[in-house]
Amino acid sequence: MVDVVVKESKIHRKGVFATRDFKKGELVIDWSTCSTQLTREQVEKLSDTERKYVSLLKDDKYVLFKSPARYVNHSCDSNTKAKGGCDIAVRDIKEGEEVTADYVLEKVPGLHLKCNCGSKNCRGIIKIDP
């Protein structure tokens, strides 16, 4: 059974959407099936496009996301958080709802973008120094 699907998003181009209900605390996306761990040196060799799909784990360990994880859009009021190599629901997520993460908490290196999340808590600009 497929729990999420990639399709057009109102936030930004493509997004990830729940194909079933998720309860708070439930695993939504397991990164082990859709990511590769990289060193800082490997990240520096990536194209600017691919670097958009990288997050810092810890101790100079990075993860390059593949589909569907790479299409999880930012929200200042996200419904998942990263924990133990997975996206975990921080509140109940309804079938058809877009799965989102807070890129500031995800530590996306060198991130600087205008936020389109539409949340009442929207920060407007998302920036993380490299």
| CATH code of the domain in which 103 resides | 2.170.270.10
Number of domains the chain contains: 1
What is the full per-residue pLDDT of the chain (130 aa) written as tens digits?
579 999 999 999 999 999 999 999 999 999 888 889 999 899 999 998 898 888 877 777 888 999 999 999 999 999 999 888 899 999 999 999 999 999 888 766 677 889 999 899 899 998 877 6
The pLDDT of residue 127: 82
Predicted pLDDT of residue 91: 97
pLDDT at 130: 62
Joined together, the tokens standing for residue 56 give: 């810092």
pLDDT at 84: 84
What does the pLDDT read at residue 26?
97
Q: Which domain holds residue 121?
A: 4-127
User: How much is the pLDDT for 16?
Assistant: 97
* DSSP secondary structure, the chain, as one string: ---EEEEE-SSSSEEEEESS-B-TT-EEEEGGGSEEEEEHHHHHTS-HHHHTTEEEEETTEEEEE-TTGGG-EE-TT-SEEEETTEEEESS-B-TTPEEEE-HHHHT-TT-EEE-----TT--SEEE---
What is the chain's length? Answer: 130
pLDDT at 19: 97
